């Protein structure tokens, strides 16, 4: 099979050896006649001209496999008629779980309360995990994994899913119960996709539903939060801390007020990355399924956007 690596050229040296090892029957190329390709492996930033990719000439392609978990940059492309699959990678999932566990524990234990200034703050004793309520927005592959890991640590965890997607052994509140999900969230972890239904979900009104001093951890999508409303909530203490890994504009401009705010931690979109060593077998399996006419893994629902 002929496969186009439709991703920024800087990733070629990292990806090509792993992809070829996982799928030796594939002829992986960086260019060629569009009509000759059986599939595309895609990542945002391609083509490097900045123009949207025109999928129309790829008449033979049976699959567009995204290397990213999020597909919001491609799913609305009107020329894309081929099946689109998002990346669900065990390495990416493990990285996201570690990020969310680490920052949840930092917030739960109040680690930022122990200033190294010679003051003995012995009365500051955090509750145990079962006494801390955590809500995870989004119960897909990443959100479900994070929720299960937090539950295993002993936290009082509930999920929220617009579709009511279940997570075994855990309460999941449906879309209509967003207010209840937020009202219990001493720590709120957001792993929602970027869709019309999630954009601006956390605005002044919904932020006001959180318990006073709540922590927000957002490694999902920057479009979820109305930034000015979050800053106002931080200033008045409604939100005690925000750990933000994703933003509406990336890289986050140096003059953005998030950088200087004492209750904001900015991480530069590093919560979880697709790792070629663990993702290549997923790509290979989907390529084989596409060639054989079998059901594809993690097929994107165009109507829902993920």
Distance CA 175, CA 181 (A): 9
- Catalytic annotation present for 221: yes
Report the residue count for the chain.
306
Which single residue is written with the structure tokens 């956390």?
Answer: 202
Distance CA 215, CA 32 (A): 49
Backbone φ and ψ for 138, nearest 5 degrees, come out as 100, 120
Per annotation, catalytic residue among 269, 288, 289, 302: 269
- Catalytic annotation present for 269: yes
Per annotation, catalytic residue among 108, 132, 184, 221: 221
For β-strands 187-190 and 264-266, DSSP reports them as unpaired
Q: Would you give the DSSP letter of residue 296?
A: P
Q: Is-cis flag, bond preceding 251, omega within 30?
A: yes
3-state SS, 39-81, equals EEEECCCCCCCCCCCCCCCCCCCCCEEECCCCCCCCCCCCCCC
Cβ–Cβ < 8 Å for 246, 221: yes
Active site (catalytic) residues: 221, 269
């Amino acid at each position: 099979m002929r496969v186009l690596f439709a991703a920024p050229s800087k990733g070629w040296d990292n990806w090509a050896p792993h992809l070829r090892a996982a799928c030796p029957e594939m002829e992986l190329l960086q260019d060629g006649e569009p009509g000759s390709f059986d599939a595309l492996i895609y990542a945002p930033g391609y083509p490097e001209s900045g123009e949207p990719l025109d999928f129309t000439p790829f008449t033979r392609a049976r699959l567009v496999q995204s290397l990213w978990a999020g597909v919001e940059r491609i799913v609305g492309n009107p020329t894309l008629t081929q099946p689109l699959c998002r990346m669900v990678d065990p390495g990416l999932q493990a990285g996201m779980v570690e990020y969310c566990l680490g920052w949840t524990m930092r917030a739960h234990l109040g680690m930022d309360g122990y200033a190294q200034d010679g003051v003995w703050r012995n009365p500051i004793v955090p509750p145990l995990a079962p006494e801390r309520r955590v809500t995870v927005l989004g119960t897909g592959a990443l959100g479900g994994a994070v929720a299960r890991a937090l539950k295993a640590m002993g936290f009082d965890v509930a999920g929220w899913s617009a579709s009511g997607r279940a997570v075994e052994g855990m309460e999941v509140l449906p879309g209509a119960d967003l207010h209840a999900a937020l009202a219990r969230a001493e720590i709120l972890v957001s792993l929602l996709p970027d869709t019309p239904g999630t954009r601006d979900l956390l605005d002044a009104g919904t932020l006001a539903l959180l318990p006073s001093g709540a922590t927000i951890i957002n490694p999902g999508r920057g479009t979820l939060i109305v930034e000015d409303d979050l800053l106002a909530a931080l200033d008045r203490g409604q939100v005690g801390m925000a750990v933000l890994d994703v933003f509406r504009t990336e890289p986050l401009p140096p003059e953005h007020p998030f950088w200087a705010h004492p209750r904001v931690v900015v991480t530069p979109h590093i919560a979880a990355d697709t790792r070629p060593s663990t993702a290549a077998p997923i790509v290979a399996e989907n390529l084989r399924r596409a060639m054989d006419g079998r059901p594809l893994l993690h097929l994107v629902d165009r109507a829902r956007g993920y």
